[in-house]
Chain A
Amino acid sequence: MTKTTPQKRYGMVIDIDRCDGCGACMVACSLENNVSVVPPEAGIHRGLTWIRVYSVTNEKEYPHSDTAYLPVSCQHCGNETPCVGVCPQSAVDVDPKNGIVSQIPERCMGCRYCMVACPYHARYFNWWDPVWPEGTEHLLNPGVTPRMRGVVEKCNFCHGRHHAAQERAASEGRSEIEPNEYQTACAEACPNGAITFGDLADKDSEVAKLAAGPESFQLLKTLGTGPKVYYLTQRGWVRDMAAKTPLPLDGQPDD
């Protein structure tokens, strides 16, 4: 396992209190990455949604009823990445330079072992042949290749945009890109500015500050996979729900 600490650690901070479940991020992500639409009989467990908004209620009657929306995408785990260790033909790889967990559909054999291994269920399998409506072939985003049947696909932090930013920087003679030049489609599309994307390793970046803030929490932190997506909330029940997995060994709630 290449444990070299990457120069950059791209990550996201999602403010749950700002997210109102509009789903613009899901649509923007699917458009940016040429994610196809599955037939109607697919049901909710065979879709292709690289970022998936779960709605969670506090199960209370009016007037105390409250709802939180949790967009969950690949967390680009940095420590013992579950899916990298299991892929039999190295179709999954953590980029040492920026910590992005990649998934190469051309190398993927479709054994789906990584899907079983991922605790965040952030990996989606093409159960059907991806089909595009008649004539829309030339509307696809040229920066991302469409996948084929029988392979797994996942969020790669809009790497097509990372390429475009690299090209733009290179045309100005720079080989590294500036933080504001590269942003994911979901962060750009979110109407309420709930999603912030950036380099967690760069201490004075917006993402790093928010992630280090008191309100931040992570999903399944006790599993120790080192997710790089942080969530913010000031609502106690949301934090308790996220930490619903029983108390870790030392018995204190994980605050």
Chain B
Amino acid sequence: MGFSVKRRDFLGLVGGGAVGAALSPAPWKGLDDIAIWTQNWSWKPRLPRGPVEVAFTHCGLCHAGCGLKVRSVGGSPVGVHGVPGHPLSAGFVCALGLAGRYLSYHPSRIVEPTIVGADGQRRGIPFKAAVRQLGDWLDDTRSGGGHGSVAILDNRPGRMRSLAYRKWLGALDGAHIKGLREDTPINRLRAMLDGPAPELGLDIARARTVLSFGAPVLEGLGSGEAGSQLRGRSDSDKPYIVQIETRPSRTARGADLWLRIAPGTETVLALGLANVLVSEGLYDKEIIAQQALDLDGPGGYRELVARFSPKKVSRITGIDAATIKKVARRFASGPAVVIPGVDPGGGPLSAEAQTAAFSLSLLNGDVGRPGGVVARRASGTTQLPREGRLADTVELADVPDGSIRLLIADGVAGGFAIPTSLLERKLNPSEGRVVSLAPFERSALHGADLVIPSTTPFESIDEAGVPIDAPVDSMGLTVPSMRAPDYSVDSLRVLSMVAKSSVVPTITELLRGRSDRIHAGERGSVFDPSKGESVPLTEFKTNGDLWRALTSGGLWTDASATFSCPPFRLMGANAAIRDRLHRALEQPSTADGWAHEITLMPFGWRDASGDGPLPPVMAKLFRETRLRLDSRFATICPKTAGDLGFVEGDKASIKTSLGSITVEVVLDPAVVDGVVHVAVGPSTEAFGDASRGKGDQPLDLPSCENDACWRVIPAKMLEVVS
């Protein structure tokens, strides 16, 4: 009867223990600590601690050169903000600039020099061996090749660094190729002027009308000041924005007037507008008669334009004649700016379209007039301290095919996407080699034979860009706010190690040289970001003071200069372009070769320029919401979808002769019937998910035979049942 002593007492012991434990703080603190543990899991990042320092610099990620205020703790930036009152960016920083600091840790960051071996496999090699290899390739290229066999692809040609490239190329009889950028077309206008013309800028802020042929005017074109601030202004003399574009881009949707033209008919519309200007005499007859060299006579401009009556133009472009007349009259009513756009993904307009567009500016007398095209005096960027021949800068389109045997690509961010086929065609088929000096792997150059890591704009000192819409020249520095990793090396240092003959100066010497020359010029004023106002240059006693102001984030801006427009040719000097202008009408909007099912129009997001890497946080715009459609989606209008048998969300494949991509269909009533718009990027790999691979590359599709224009691509669209 009863129980063994052991069990009953054991229960007593346990009971006592429980009561004892409950009376001690251990279990309650344990409970509390468990909850705290769920807040401090080991993989949760620790916040940087320490005092916050504030510094000012410029953003080097694109040529807009926005001013930045950088808060950093312990030497690494923890916050990037705009600089209110900055002459160029007026406090604006785009999404890419805000998150630029994360690019230095992007998975597609190149951390060691790599070379593609004979077996086609890419493997790492030490820096010394990479430079020696580059030197060898350079030697056998110079021995065999003619002019332009060595070339440098420069995404921002106006910098001091470009001067050093041209001096280095001068000695090797190489070509300095201009990468694709917003202000590439401006040189077309300079080519139309007779005689030497200074650097040109577009004075959008004071223009009465802005005629944009597909330029992303309201998406941050140029700097914050003129570009996207336009939309923010409600004052009466705000420029009337006319967007001539096929795609319902953000600018098109936000413009005051959106002319939705049929794909590839910009030239016809421009000449149509010119027809109205000429026929209604809405231009200053005496001046134009003196200055326009090819106005009259057989095959002259007047005769060319006469054939583009508004009725005929409206049939081709799809814009009704009345609107064409209204736009032309508004254009002629005051200072206006014409911008033939360069789409970050769709590439430039055709040469004849650019010429036709600029002819309107010339006809309207806007060149040299405030509110139109203004001159930007070069300041200390034209000559190098020491002697030596400078290679001339050429357009990618004007480079003869197969002429390049060694292409060195300066991979600084900000250049627009270039189709792989276009580059390959310019390379010598047998021994063409590409060397990429870039911080990241870029899809256009993913086939580079030799890759040498360089610094990102946040890690190295360099010149900030000058935006397309800046009325005057300026000089600001991208003062490094992060420590450059030791595996990255400056491109100039690579060239100096390779160049046997001429001495290549370092970037700091170049910048200091320009700063001293500007100081000698005693022109313009210097903006101090910490105080937020500008001080005339004359108050800086020594060039050391100016250099100190610039290296602490200051910005020198030139004084404005007047510039009278020299005589010009309305149809440009190039005979081929003149000929294509004359045949613009015969070429029906859809050439017979294009009797394809659909017209593919690739486009790119202004601040996510197609193929480069992006800070992961940009995924908020592309992946975590549908605010921007990336390269996985294609937009067509419901009518086309009906014809092709697609429904929203279907998987479709877009095919051209060169390849195909798979996309998901999105319907948008504002798209032109028979057209499909696909963004060239960013692919998931751009956000740092390297494991996902490149994904489809819309820019692999265009073959762009005629003068490197791939904005309009005939293609087929097939249902992919998935």
Interface residues of A (CB under 8 A from B): 18, 20-24, 26-28, 30-32, 34-35, 37-40, 42, 44, 46-49, 52-55, 57, 59-63, 65-67, 69, 105-106, 129-142, 145-146, 148-149, 188-189, 191-194
Tell which of A21, A130, A135, A141 touches B44, judged by Cβ atoms closer than 8 Å: A130
- A194:B232 contact, CB within 8 angstroms: yes
- B623:A30 contact, CB within 8 angstroms: no
Looking at B343-351, B594-602, B687-695, B705-713, the stretch in contact with chain A turns out to be: B687-695
- B232:A132 contact, CB within 8 angstroms: no
Residues of A within 8 A of B99 (CB): 27, 31
- B624:A139 contact, CB within 8 angstroms: no
- B95:A27 contact, CB within 8 angstroms: yes
Residues of A within 8 A of B219 (CB): 20, 22
- B624:A38 contact, CB within 8 angstroms: yes
The chain A residue with its CB closest to the CB of B219 is A22
Residues of A within 8 A of B46 (CB): 137
- A191:B45 contact, CB within 8 angstroms: no
Residues of B within 8 A of A57 (CB): 668-670
Interface of A is mostly: loop
Whether A32 contacts B94 in the complex (CB less than 8 A), given A22-B220, A140-B47, A142-B49, comes out as no
Q: Top 9 nearest A-B pairs by Cβ distance?
A: A47-B624, A27-B95, A65-B670, A192-B232, A23-B621, A137-B45, A37-B616, A67-B253, A191-B228
A53: min CB distance to chain B, Å: 5
- A65:B98 contact, CB within 8 angstroms: no
Residues of B within 8 A of A53 (CB): 625, 627
Question: Interface code B653-686, partner A: CB below 8 Å = 1, 0 otherwise?
Answer: 0000000000000001110100000000000100
Tell which of A31, A60, A105 touches B669, judged by Cβ atoms closer than 8 Å: A60
A144: min CB distance to chain B, Å: 8
State whether the Cβ of B43 lies closer than 8 Å to any Cβ in chain A: yes
Question: Interface code B63-90, partner A: CB below 8 Å = 1, 0 otherwise?
Answer: 0000000000110111111100000000
Whether A27 contacts B98 in the complex (CB less than 8 A), given A142-B49, A146-B45, A193-B232, comes out as yes
The chain B residue with its CB closest to the CB of A29 is B620
Whole-angstrom CA separation of A132 from B106 in the bound complex: 11
Whole-angstrom CA separation of A157 from B64 in the bound complex: 30
Residues of A within 8 A of B220 (CB): 22, 191
Residues of A within 8 A of B282 (CB): none
A124: min CB distance to chain B, Å: 9
Whether A142 contacts B48 in the complex (CB less than 8 A), given A40-B684, A191-B228, comes out as yes
State whether the Cβ of B38 lies closer than 8 Å to any Cβ in chain A: yes
- B47:A135 contact, CB within 8 angstroms: no
Whole-angstrom CA separation of A55 from B557 in the bound complex: 39
Q: Can you give 30 A-B contacts (C-beta < 8 A)?
A: A21-B250, A22-B94, A24-B93, A27-B98, A27-B618, A31-B98, A32-B79, A37-B617, A39-B689, A40-B684, A42-B624, A47-B624, A62-B669, A62-B672, A65-B669, A67-B248, A67-B253, A133-B106, A135-B105, A138-B48, A139-B78, A140-B47, A141-B47, A142-B48, A146-B47, A148-B39, A189-B82, A189-B98, A192-B229, A192-B232
B439: min CB distance to chain A, Å: 15
Residues of B within 8 A of A31 (CB): 79-80, 98-99, 617
State whether the Cβ of B218 lies closer than 8 Å to any Cβ in chain A: yes
A137: min CB distance to chain B, Å: 4
Tell which of B74, B106, B250, B619 touches A20, judged by Cβ atoms closer than 8 Å: B250
Whole-angstrom CA separation of A78 from B43 in the bound complex: 37
State whether the Cβ of B254 lies closer than 8 Å to any Cβ in chain A: yes
Residues of B within 8 A of A24 (CB): 93-95, 98
Whole-angstrom CA separation of A149 from B219 in the bound complex: 36
Residues of B within 8 A of A105 (CB): 39
State whether the Cβ of B580 lies closer than 8 Å to any Cβ in chain A: no
| Most chain B C-beta atoms within 10 Å of own C-beta, residue among A34, A142, A149, A191 | A191
The chain B residue with its CB closest to the CB of A53 is B627
B91: min CB distance to chain A, Å: 8
State whether the Cβ of B440 lies closer than 8 Å to any Cβ in chain A: no
Residues of B within 8 A of A106 (CB): 39
A65: min CB distance to chain B, Å: 4
State whether the Cβ of B102 lies closer than 8 Å to any Cβ in chain A: yes
The chain B residue with its CB closest to the CB of A149 is B41
The chain B residue with its CB closest to the CB of A59 is B669
Whether A188 contacts B232 in the complex (CB less than 8 A), given A62-B670, A148-B39, comes out as no
A216: min CB distance to chain B, Å: 16
Residues of B within 8 A of A133 (CB): 102, 105-107, 616, 688
Name 6 extra pairs, CB < 8 A, besides A140-B48, A192-B232.
Answer: A20-B250, A31-B80, A38-B624, A53-B625, A136-B105, A188-B82
State whether the Cβ of B628 lies closer than 8 Å to any Cβ in chain A: yes
- B621:A26 contact, CB within 8 angstroms: yes
Whether A30 contacts B620 in the complex (CB less than 8 A), given A22-B228, A57-B668, A135-B105, comes out as yes
Residues of B within 8 A of A141 (CB): 47, 78-79
Whole-angstrom CA separation of A66 from B248 in the bound complex: 10
Whether A52 contacts B41 in the complex (CB less than 8 A), given A65-B248, A146-B47, A194-B232, comes out as no
Residues of A within 8 A of B92 (CB): 191
State whether the Cβ of B52 lies closer than 8 Å to any Cβ in chain A: yes
Residues of A within 8 A of B688 (CB): 133
- B43:A191 contact, CB within 8 angstroms: no
Residues of B within 8 A of A61 (CB): 669-670
Q: Which of B421-462 contact A (CB under 8 A)?
A: none
Whole-angstrom CA separation of A193 from B45 in the bound complex: 33
- B254:A20 contact, CB within 8 angstroms: yes
Residues of A within 8 A of B651 (CB): none
Whether A22 contacts B73 in the complex (CB less than 8 A), given A37-B620, A142-B78, A188-B82, comes out as no
The chain A residue with its CB closest to the CB of B75 is A138
State whether the Cβ of B101 lies closer than 8 Å to any Cβ in chain A: yes
- B82:A26 contact, CB within 8 angstroms: no
State whether the Cβ of B626 lies closer than 8 Å to any Cβ in chain A: yes
- B624:A140 contact, CB within 8 angstroms: no
Residues of B within 8 A of A20 (CB): 218-219, 228, 231, 250, 253-254
- B74:A138 contact, CB within 8 angstroms: yes
| Most chain B C-beta atoms within 10 Å of own C-beta, residue among A30, A57, A146, A193 | A30
Whole-angstrom CA separation of A20 from B216 in the bound complex: 12
Whole-angstrom CA separation of A21 from B621 in the bound complex: 10
Whole-angstrom CA separation of A28 from B97 in the bound complex: 10
Residues of B within 8 A of A134 (CB): 105, 107
